[in-house]
Amino acid sequence: MKELSSLQIERLKYQPKLPESLAGGINNLELVEGNKTECVKDTEQIKELFSNIYGKPIVTFKKTPEKIIPEKSNVGVILSGGQAPGGHNVIAGLYDALKQANPQNKLYGFLGGPSGIIEGNYIEFTDEKIDDYRNTGGFDIIGSGRTKLETEEQFQKALKVCKELDITGIVIIGGDDSNTNAALLAEWFVKNNAGIQVIGCPKTIDGDLKNDQIEISFGFDTATKTYAELIGNILRDANSAKKYWHFIKLMGRSATHVGLEVALQTQPNITLISEEVEEKKMSLKQIVDYIAQIVAKRADLGKNFGVALIPEGLIEFIPEIKSMISNLNDVLAVLENDSAYKSADENTKFNIIENKLNNEDSSVFASLPTMIKQQLLMDRDPHGNVQVSKIETEKLLIEMVSHKLEEMKNEGNFKGKFSAQCHFFGYEGRCAFPTNFDADYCYSLGYNAFALLKFGLTGYLSSVKNLSAPALEWVAGGVPLTMMMNMEKRHGQFKPVIKKALVELNGPVFKELEKNREVWAMEDKYIYPGAIQYFGPSSICDITTETLRLENAAKLTAV
């Protein structure tokens, strides 16, 4: 057995809670089918690409007294993409359900992400192995990776490995891109009569894999509470020293769910929401002016300190920069095979790009500081896009706000001081010990994933709903992966992907921030959440996120 910390030893004793339908046992379930489904957009293209798995119904499970012992089956599991707290419990729930169904069943873990199933790198899970990782953070039980599953050669290799291990089901634990891989693999297996099912599980701390059937992706609860603790500490430090402005960039590239949730938990002075910036068509100058005005007004009150939350993906939501980045992605997709460009020095590369960009986009690129240009030209992510997390937006804003305040000081409109510190919270939240909520939710997702396999389903995402209620009242089931898909441009070509869920500006969560932001800007109504609690009253240990609370309260009000 591996070395365990005192907390891990205690957490091993925690038995995750299951929805009532699943708590009765994996062999005492009945499948209930709902209506057939459609994708969110681009129906004809998605229907053609996924003709074998498209249009399946949403399903739920209910308890039945009839007990059915299934035949022996082997299952493989893959951790895909970035880490999120609770991934180990998805595997533990899957393992327990599989062994409960039939003790002869086997669970294989593919090592290093999707590449493991292609290259045949795997382990067979045992009780001892699973018990070392229950209720812990991280993906280190088998590791993760970002290999795309999309080519005929990859599918053939995966099939060969599955046949060698007599695997009849694959569970892919990942975010929107990873579950797009799951849909592609499921479609190919059905098309080729492989007899192998594929089920996905919704993972991403960014919170952008959600819809009516997926209320929250796992890891979001833990990550936001981890960040809220850190930001609460900084708020207290700012309020103690009273001499620094802290600019904190928060993980969440494509949506600002993390920043919004953390703001509601901590109540900082400034919270930028990428979706709002895009909706209002705010320029970089307008954002800088907005921050500078708050800094100046607080200085008038004798407060030369504060905290500003900056979304990781903010820069590409600013309209003129978003346009430039989109154009830049297309240009770089061509230049990646251009030997003259690849061997050029930095300034020459800048000039080549400026000449290839559209006029307005070229002007925007030319206006940026060298530091930001360099970061824009770093290696692409696996989907051919700018790696926004490497763009130091917080430093850019500090520099520009500082210049703006100097202008205001020269005009007699700023009499305070501005000294700034910058932070980026990302990796700090990805592998934290999961909260009780995420421990329960993830275990239920894994357990439920085997239930979907048991009933012969493929191309589904494991779904557990009604999450703001106690765990026994959660509703277990599955949603077809194609229901969440549309076509988007990747590497210069349109490809099927699961549509990301952005912050809804008319939704109850953003409205809560909007209602309070002016007061929070001037008055120091800071909240210090403190560390995640695992033991104690349920009102402290089992609370959901503000996002879930507000969204589900709004649903009840609408009914």
| Mean pLDDT across 266-292 | 96
Task: Provide the 10 A C-beta neighbour count for residue 377.
Answer: 16
Helix residue ranges, H only, 109-167 = 115-119, 127-131, 152-164
pLDDT tens-digit readout, 63-76 = 998 887 788 999 99
Quote the longest CA-to-CA distance of the chain.
81
The whole-angstrom separation of Cα 402 and Cα 400 is 5
Pairing of strands 270-271, 245-250: unpaired
Per-residue confidence (pLDDT) for residue 326, from 0 to 100 = 86
With a cut of 90, say whether residue 481 has pLDDT above it: yes
Per-residue confidence (pLDDT) for residue 384, from 0 to 100 = 63
Planar angle of CA 13, 25, 198, nearest 5 degrees: 95
Q: Are 232 and 529 in contact (CB under 8 A)?
A: yes
Environment class of 112 (CB within 10 Å of its CB; exposed 0-12, middle 13-18, buried 19+)? middle
With a cut of 70, say whether residue 383 has pLDDT above it: no
- How far are the Cα atoms of 254, 321, 323, 369, 416 from residue 278, in angstroms, in the given order? 12, 10, 11, 22, 31
pLDDT-above-90 percentage for the chain? 82
* Residue 407 neighbours by CB under 8 Å, 6+ apart: none
Q: Assign 22 to helix, strand or coil.
A: helix
The whole-angstrom separation of Cα 227 and Cα 233 is 10
State in Å, rounded, how far the first CA of the chain is from the last one.
51
Q: What are phi and psi of 35, to 5 degrees?
A: -75, 155
With a cut of 80, say whether residue 113 has pLDDT above it: yes
Query: Is the C-alpha dihedral spanning 494, 154, 478, 445 positive or negative?
Result: negative
Among the listed residues 96, 176, 177, 206, the single catalytic one is: 206
The CATH number, out of the four listed (3.10.129.10, 3.40.1110.10, 3.40.50.460, 1.10.510.10), of the domain defined by the range 220-430+507-553: 3.40.50.460
Q: How confident is the model at residue 255 (pLDDT cuts 50, 70, 90)?
A: very high
Task: Provide the 10 A C-beta neighbour count for residue 151.
Answer: 12
* Residue 387 neighbours by CB under 8 Å, 6+ apart: 378, 379, 380, 381
DSSP structural state of residue 55: T
pLDDT-above-70 percentage for the chain? 97
List the domain boundaries for the chain.
17-219+434-490, 220-430+507-553
With a cut of 90, say whether residue 534 has pLDDT above it: yes
With a cut of 80, say whether residue 385 has pLDDT above it: no
Per-residue confidence (pLDDT) for residue 1, from 0 to 100 = 57
The reply to whether 42 belongs to the active site is no
Which region among 48-52, 133-137, 329-333, 416-420 has the lowest average model confidence (pLDDT)? 329-333
Planar angle of CA 105, 433, 447, nearest 5 degrees: 25
The whole-angstrom separation of Cα 540 and Cα 437 is 11
Q: Which two tokens stand for residue 306?
A: 């504060």
pLDDT tens-digit readout, 136-150 = 999 999 999 999 998
Q: Which residues of 477-515 are buried (b: 16+ CB within 10 A; e: fewer)?
A: bbbbbbbbbbbbbbeeeebbbbbbbbbeeeebbbebbee
Report the DSSP beta bridge partners of residue 168.
none
Q: Assign 350 to helix, strand or coil.
A: helix
Classify domain 17-219+434-490 at the CATH topology level. Rossmann fold (3.40.50)
pLDDT tens-digit readout, 330-380 = 898 888 888 889 899 999 999 999 999 998 999 999 988 888 888 888 866
Domains 17-219+434-490 and 220-430+507-553 share a fold: yes
